Amino acid sequence: MDETVLLGAYVFLLAIFLGIELIGRVPSTLHTPLMSGTNAIHGIVVLGAMIILGQADELWLQVVGFVAVVLGAANVFGGFVVTDRMLEMFRKKPAAGGKVGAKDQ
CB 80 within 8 A of CB 46: no
30 SS3 class: helix
Q: In the chain, where are the structural domains located?
A: 31-89
Report the alpha-carbon distance of residue 49 to residue 55 in Å, rounded: 10
Query: What pLDDT sits at residue 97?
Result: 63
Q: Rounded to whole angstroms, what are the CA distances from 7 to 1, 45, 92?
A: 10, 21, 50
Query: What pLDDT sits at residue 75?
Result: 84
Q: What is the pTM of this model?
A: 0.55
At 70, phi and psi to the nearest 5? Answer: -65, -50
Output the tens digit of pLDDT for each of the chain's 105 residues. Answer: 688 888 989 999 999 898 888 877 877 667 667 777 777 788 888 898 899 888 989 898 889 889 989 988 888 888 788 777 777 777 777 766 656 555 555
Element (H, E) at 25: none
